Amino acid sequence: MKLLSLVIAPDPLLKQISKPVENVDKFLQEFMDNMVHTMYHEGGIGLASVQVGVLKRILVMDVDYQYDDSHHHHGESCGHNHFINCNPQYFINPEIIESSKEISSFKEGCLSFPGARAEVSRPQEVTVKFLDYYGNPQTKSFDGIMATCIQHEIDHLNGINFVDRISALKREIILKKIKKTK
């Protein structure tokens, strides 16, 4: 697997709407595996394909994994990350078909906005229709952190970033900090 380069704000690509995937094949599966590898390496719990420069309606997430340094046996400089409790999930052409009226707030971060975090309110529960890793149609309901994560990533596919869901002042502060560190 290879690490993919992250697209960092304020790159205009992050405001683009991703196109539907036409077919699922081994190349797409390899790309999704690379997305998961990149997400783990960067310490994220979700990643949309636009965040690695591909305008296709694909996202991956795993809210369960943990970094494990107790099994590091390659030597100090091997560069490999080791993880446990991995449960990657793959979503192709995801679409929210139902949202709860109940709202929850979570302090969100984003790999495309390094170091930035802000409180975002979203529906507490969502039902999503999508194709899985093999191209099979699925419908699943999510709540809690999983609901927040999938909504955050679907927003990316629609050209919406989490900073678009906070006040203009907070958004401006975050973008100034990111530009300063670039």
Is the overall model pTM greater than 0.85, yes or no?
yes
Distance CA 117, CA 108 (A): 5
Lowest mean pLDDT among 33-37, 62-66, 130-134: 62-66
Mean pLDDT for 2-11 is 96
CA distances from 166 to 46, 89, 104, 108, 161 (A): 20, 27, 14, 11, 10
Residues labelled as active-site residues: 153
**Domain chopping of the chain, boundaries:** 18-181
Query: Rounded to the nearest 10 degrees, how much is the dihedral formed by the CA atoms of 79, 150, 139, 20?
Result: -80
DSSP-assigned states of every residue in 90-154: EEEEEEEEEE-S-EEEEEEEETTEEEEEEEEEEESEEEEEEE-TTS-EEEEEEEHHHHHHHHHHH
- Yes or no: is domain 18-181 CATH 3.40.630.10? no
Q: How confident is the model at residue 179 (pLDDT cuts 50, 70, 90)?
A: confident
Share of the chain above pLDDT 90, in %: 82
How high is the pLDDT of residue 109? 96
Cis-peptide into 20, omega within 30 deg: no
Q: Give the pair of three-digit tokens for residue 83.
A: 């993880």
> Which single residue is written with the structure tokens 């290879």?
2
**Dihedral sign, CA of 20, 26, 28, 29?**
positive
pLDDT at 74 over 50: no
Each residue's pLDDT tens digit, 136-166:
999 999 999 999 999 999 999 999 999 999 9
Instruction: Find all residues with CB under 8 Å of 105, minimum gap 6, and list them.
Output: 119, 120, 121, 122
pLDDT at 112 over 70: yes
How high is the pLDDT of residue 14? 98
How high is the pLDDT of residue 159? 98
Distance CA 76, CA 7 (A): 29
